[in-house]
Amino acid sequence: MDFSIKAYDTKNPILSAKTGCVAVAVYENKKLSAAASALDQHGDISAALKSGDISGKAGSTLLLRGVAGITAARVLLVGMGSADAVSEKNFASAVHATLKCFGQLGSNDAIIAFPMTDVKGRDQAWAIGCIVTAAHEAQFRTDGQKSRKDPERSGVKKLTLAADFVDARTRQSLAQAQAIARGMDLTKELGNLSANVCTPTYLANTARKLAKDYKFDVEILERKQLEALKMCSFLSVSAGSEEPPKFIVLKHMGGKKSDAPVVLVGKGITFDTGGISLKAGPGMDEMKYDMCGAASVLGTFRAIGEMGLAMNVVGIIAACENMPSGRATKPGDIVTSMAGLTIEVLNTDAEGRLVLCDALTYAERFNPAAVVDIATLTGACIVALGHHNSGLFARDDDAGNHLAQELLDAGKQAGDTAWRLPIGELYNDQLKSNFADLGNIGSPGGASCTAAAFLENFTRSYAWAHLDIAGTAWKSGGAKGATGRPVALLSNFLLNRA
């Protein structure tokens, strides 16, 4: 969808706009928004509202044709709840309902003329982001691997946002929103691909293409290089697979050469059988999504590349499969991490932390300003937080608390929220092993917290945070598919830092 933004005022009234449809807000108390009032030249909109044809409830819609006194062919009335306080939820409901209607129209273009500065606690930039993200979601296709593609969708292809004002910051907000939405699209595309296509090699080639398109530096480390680096923990996960592991390093050097970079580390398990600790069969197909941490790093790099972010950012992706075979790591095996710590592999299905610990150790060489790892790490996080919030972990010190607050704020800003959970010595005590420095799982209880505590052992030299996205990276059931999260959170976090 093509987007533009325009201010409508006395010199350029909305009633003179030539378009296939104008969407305007109405409210439950039979009030009209400013744009709806401006189009109500002969009382057609007021009459529709008074008649009860539309309730004004958030997400309700009514399409009017031939409204007298205006140029637009159609007017879409969209309920936005109470006029006294437009909530984020009601605004988003109105946007999604509008785009659903636009998808069925016989018009190529439309205008959304919503009150973008009336949302409680939000500004116009947030509203622009909400509309752009929802529009991309409405048009996202999942038929890439079908032999017969789904029918081409009709409906609106050119969307104009009617803003209260348009200045350089407004145009920048629109450009940033589109870049982030396209980054989310890439993350969803990678997540939805079948695991026989989206292999570690495929992720490496995707990184190479991004590097070519956006002038990133890229390096792909192969097995021999990983062996030389003594990444035995990472390699232990890939031992049972025929697919070669790939360790991907992307660099966006948009800041000063002397600036310490922010490092994003993504878990890239392109398929997770659980290894010798084999998962149950039902639902195992969804383990193609176990690389969504990696996909979110690649999606975020697409966004910051398009935005030309004035900041140094390094992306690290540890990519491999976790498969059972005669060569696979066995429960009870002890491996040595790049950091030199020995790990007793008590459960081969707790493999994400085994690849991440070596990636986090590798991150030290960049003398980072901060490191954030992103991983579909634990089912326990879904039990704790459901599918609404990503789990956020950071050390309880000044650097960790500051970094955690930055990420929480960015999540709220983007509508891609996280919730902070605890770590510390008590959780680390659960990881004690009789035979190695650490077990890769803890004693029962607090499994998301013990997983984060495990990772913390490899992050002592820098500010670090961990995002557990097991509950937010994809949806199951009839709506099964990758969500693109947490690209919006990460992009806003980097934008705020820049």
Hunting for tokens 């986090």 — which residue is that?
360
Q: What is the mean pLDDT of residues 390-415?
A: 97
Query: What angle do helix axes 88-102 and 124-139 make, rounded to 10 degrees?
Result: 40
**Mean of pLDDT over the chain:** 96
Percent residues over pLDDT 90 in the chain? 94
* CA–CA gap between residue 277 and residue 331 (Å, rounded): 7
* Domains defined for the chain, CATH in brackets: 2-163 (3.40.220.10), 180-497 (3.40.630.10)
Structural element, H or E, at residue 98 = helix 88-102
Identify the three-state secondary structure at position 344. Answer: strand
The span from the CA of 375 to the CA of 333, in Å, is 24
**How, if at all, do strands 481-482 and 246-253 pair?**
unpaired
- Give me the active site residues, please: 279, 353
Cα 264 to the center of its chain, rounded Å: 13
Dihedral, CA of residue 339, residue 345, residue 347 and residue 348, to nearest 10: 70
Looking at residue 287, its amino acid is M
- Tell me whether residue 279 is exposed, middle or buried, using C-beta atoms within 10 angstroms of its C-beta: 0 to 12, 13 to 18, 19 or more: middle
**pTM listed for this prediction:** 0.95
Q: How many CB atoms lie within 10 A of CB 61?
A: 16
Residues 156/107, Cβ–Cβ less than 8 Å? yes
Residue with tokens 């400013």: 34
**What is the DSSP-derived secondary structure letter of residue 29?**
T
Among the listed residues 66, 8, 78, the one whose alpha carbon sits nearest the alpha carbon of residue 38 = 8
pLDDT tens column, 162-187: 987 899 999 999 999 999 999 999 99
Q: What are residue 419's phi and psi, to 5 degrees?
A: -135, 130
Note the pLDDT tens digit of each residue in 288-313: 999 999 999 999 999 999 999 999 99
Report the largest interatomic distance among the alpha carbons of the chain, rounded to a whole angstrom: 83
Instruction: Give residue 84's pLDDT.
Output: 87
What are 451's two structure tokens?
């997983």
pLDDT confidence of residue 164? 79
Q: How much of the chain, in percent, has pLDDT values that exceed 70?
A: 100
Give pLDDT tens digits for 35-76: 999 999 999 999 999 999 999 999 999 999 999 999 999 999
Segment 448-459, tens digit of pLDDT: 999 999 999 999
Rounded CA gap, 104 and 115, in Å? 24
Up-side HSE of residue 163: CA atoms within 13 Å toward CB? Answer: 24
pLDDT at 32 over 80: yes
pLDDT at 468: 98
**pLDDT score recorded for residue 294:** 98
Half-sphere exposure of 131 (CA within 13 A, CB side): 28
Q: What CA–CA distance (Å, rounded) separates 137 from 221?
A: 34
Query: How many whole angstroms separate alpha carbon 316 and alpha carbon 293?
Result: 10
Cβ proximity of 354 and 334 under 8 Å: no
Whether residue 10 is predicted with pLDDT greater than 80 in this model: the reply is: no
Angle subtended at Cα 493 by Cα 488 and Cα 494, rounded to the nearest 5 degrees? 100
Residue 391 has what pLDDT?
98
Judged by DSSP in three states, 317 sits in: strand
Distance of alpha carbon 17 from alpha carbon 111, whole angstroms = 9
Query: 47: which residues sit within 8 A by CB, 6+ positions away?
Result: none
Cα separation, 377 vs 471, in Å, equals 10
Q: Tokens representing 466?
A: 């961990």
DSSP E strands in 41-117: the ranges are 61-65, 74-79, 109-113
Residue 246 clears pLDDT 90, i.e. is over it? yes
Q: How far is CA 462 from CA 296, 341, 454, in A?
A: 22, 18, 16
Q: What is the mean pLDDT of residues 19-42?
A: 94
d(CA 319, CA 266): 9
Per-residue pLDDT tens over the stretch 127-154: 999 999 999 999 998 888 999 888 877 7
Q: Phi/psi of residue 138, each to 5°?
A: -65, -30
Residue 11 has pLDDT above 90, yes or no: no
- Cross-strand bridge partners of residue 111: 22, 160
pLDDT tens-digit series, residues 198-224:
999 999 999 999 999 999 999 999 999
Q: What are the Cα distances from residue 342, in Å, to 233, 354, 412, 447, 458?
A: 9, 11, 38, 20, 12
**pLDDT at site 257:** 94
The mean per-residue pLDDT over the stretch 263-290 comes to 97
How do residues 454-491 score in pLDDT, each as one tens digit?
999 999 999 999 999 999 999 999 999 999 999 999 99
Closest CA to 498 of 259, 177, 179, 172: 259
Angle between helices 168-192 and 487-497 (to 10 degrees): 140
Q: Which residues pair with 262 in a beta bridge?
A: 313, 370
